[in-house]
Structure 1
Amino acid sequence: MKDAHIHIVKYSGEKVIFSLHKLKKSLKRTGADENTVKSILDRVKEELYQGITTKEIYNRAFALLKKKKSYLASKYKLKKAIYELGPTGFPFERFVSAVLKYSGYKTEVGSIVQGHCINHEIDIIATKNNETTIIECKFHSEQGLKCNVKIPLYINSRYLDVKKHWNTNLENKELLTEGWVVTNTRFTKDAKQFGSCAGLQLLSWDYPENNGLKDRIDRLGLYPITASTLLTKREKQFLLSREIVLFRDLIGDSFFLDHLGISEIRKKRILEEIEQLCNLKNN
């Protein structure tokens, strides 16, 4: 049966036509060579059937990539890795803060800030070039969910309340100039339209185009610890509990790997995976 006529089931339950182009694009994003991509596409096409889920397709492609090179599989599982930062949103806030730090921001996580009307607990306060941004993170642990327009509406009202007090307070050296909403999923069309109209910055998995969360992570090599294919779930949770959210942070602080009782041979493989995944060999 030709793949053009195969209906697949997404995480949301929606049925769509299978796209070989989309799968090829996601495989090429990992940096896999043409022969590897072609062999995986051929294998997946052979195993397609009506009603196959995107999860099954993902699992098959992931297993084939991992067999080739573990770091390619780590790149491929990026979206899933971010979901694995849960079930609470706190590690995601730490992760977003870390991404911003590598983009030149000074950040604070979990601050209470006075607004004109009430006090607000702000997920991240980020400062750069004498300007301040307040950022709210909306983490979903289930795939298929989207951030609807109610979220940016609510966050924008909080931002405006904080801004009204912040920019009249002489103790604040930097002006508050932007409010952001960051999510690990996607925004609805109405949410994007409101954000654009209100001047509220929205950052999701694939928005803005070519500068979404996945693009920034790939560009900076800032993969979460959960992207590793060599660490166990227990080891990842231990590292997250110690506020190690970036995979590359283990390069400069492998003490935690020693603390976990990881053997020298396995530790060497993990550190090699980090260097390949995070583009550190030439940095």
Structure 2
Amino acid sequence: MEHHVYIKKSNGETELFSFEKLRRSLQSAGANKDMVETIVHKIQGQIYDGMSSNAIYRKAFSLLKGKNKISASRYSLKRAILELGPTGYPFERLIGALLKEKGYDTKVSVTLHGECVTHEIDVLAEKDGNVYAIECKFHADARATSNVRVPLYINSRFLDIQKQWNTNPNNKSHLKQGWLVTNTRFTEDAVNYGKCVGLTLLSWDYPKNNGLKANIDSLALYPVTTLTTLNKREKHQLIETDIILVKELFNAADKLKTIGLSDTKIQRVLDEVKQLCRLDCN
């Protein structure tokens, strides 16, 4: 029988642990019903008041990894994105790839002139004659949120660029909208401001059922940091060679040899890549 346990969150606050939330996250990662109930039962026997949410995650991840490595990879997605740091560039590449999968022509790290000053834009995306200026707010801390000051600042930059772009006769496309993307969450004021001024916001779970997690899962655009067959050092060696996405290893398996992996381990990694990408990303 499930019992009431108060756990410590990463921000130091305590809350009642939700076994149902654990079930949903395991199911979302692809674990079947029997697997989910087995893991939940084991967690029930090990959890205690004051236990950290991070410790519970590690136990659940370890149990899931022992049963299904692919589900464990998906379960680790949020933390895997946090591990893309410390710079925001790999996250920008991830967002550029996500938009490319949705039919946009994308460029990462673009310098644009505004009416008043010059701006560095993280991702520039074009589709059907419309251009979108996308700013990526990467956080290496899951507790971090983007408050209303962030979209206020981003929108003012976008308006400056838009005035210059849309009055330039050399531009054949229309700079339509600014976007703001983060790997964590927005405050309620930030969301309300974005809606008010027409700034598209995308966070881990916003918009509902169409946030960053939902998009990455549906497109199988997993970062290399999700791979369970690589250790942390090996993952960051790949990132240093500009391999950000799991699917990129299909056409760059030689990079695995470059970072010192044996042929046997390379095959294990590629098997995981193939399963994560659902056999069809190349």
TMscore range, shorter length: over 0.9
**Following superposition of structure 1 onto structure 2, how do residues 49-88 of structure 1 map, counting pairs within 5 Å?**
49-88=48-87
Q: Could you tell me which residue of structure 2 aligns to residue 223 of structure 1?
A: 222
TM-score, length basis structure 2: 0.97
Contact 1:150 1:191 in 2 (8 A): yes
Residue ranges of structure 2 left out of the alignment (5+ in a row): none
Counterpart CA distance in 1 for 2:103 and 2:252 is 22
Name the residue aligned to 2:211: 212
Q: Could you say which residue in structure 2 is the equivalent of 1:97?
A: 96
Is the Cα contact below 8 Å between 1:115 and 1:164 reproduced in 2? Answer: yes
Report what 1:40 is aligned to. Answer: 39
> CA offset at residue 141 of structure 1?
0.8
Q: Is the 8 A contact 1:12 1:143 kept in 2?
A: no
Distance 1:103 1:282 in 2: 14
Structure 2 counterparts to residues 108-257 of structure 1, below 5 A: 108-257=107-256
Q: 1:56: how far off?
A: 0.8
Whole-angstrom distance in 2 between the partners of 1:219 and 1:88: 26
What is the RMSD computed on CA atoms of the aligned residues? 1.4
Counterpart CA distance in 2 for 1:267 and 1:213 is 29
Letter of the structure 2 residue corresponding to residue 156 of structure 1: N
Gaps of 5+ in 1: none
SS at match of 1:110: strand
Q: CA deviation at 1:30?
A: 1.1
Q: CA deviation at 1:73?
A: 1.0
Show CA shifts across 1:142-167 (max 9, x none). 12111101000100011111111111
1:225 alignment partner AA: V
Q: How many Å separate the matches in 1 of 2:206 and 2:199?
A: 13
Q: Write out per-residue CA displacement over residues 213-269 of structure 1, whole angstroms, 9 at most, x where no aligned residue.
A: 000000000000111111122221121111110011101221101222322221111
Deviation at 1:276, TM superposition (A): 1.2
Shift of 1:281: 5.1
Amino acid across the alignment from 2:42:
R
* 1:161-219 residue CA offsets vs partner (Å, 9 max, x unmatched): 11111111111111011101100100001101111111100000000001100000000
Distance 1:196 1:183 in 2: 16
- Cα pair 1:26 1:76 within 8 Å, conserved: yes
1:107–1:126 Cα contact (<8 Å) kept: yes
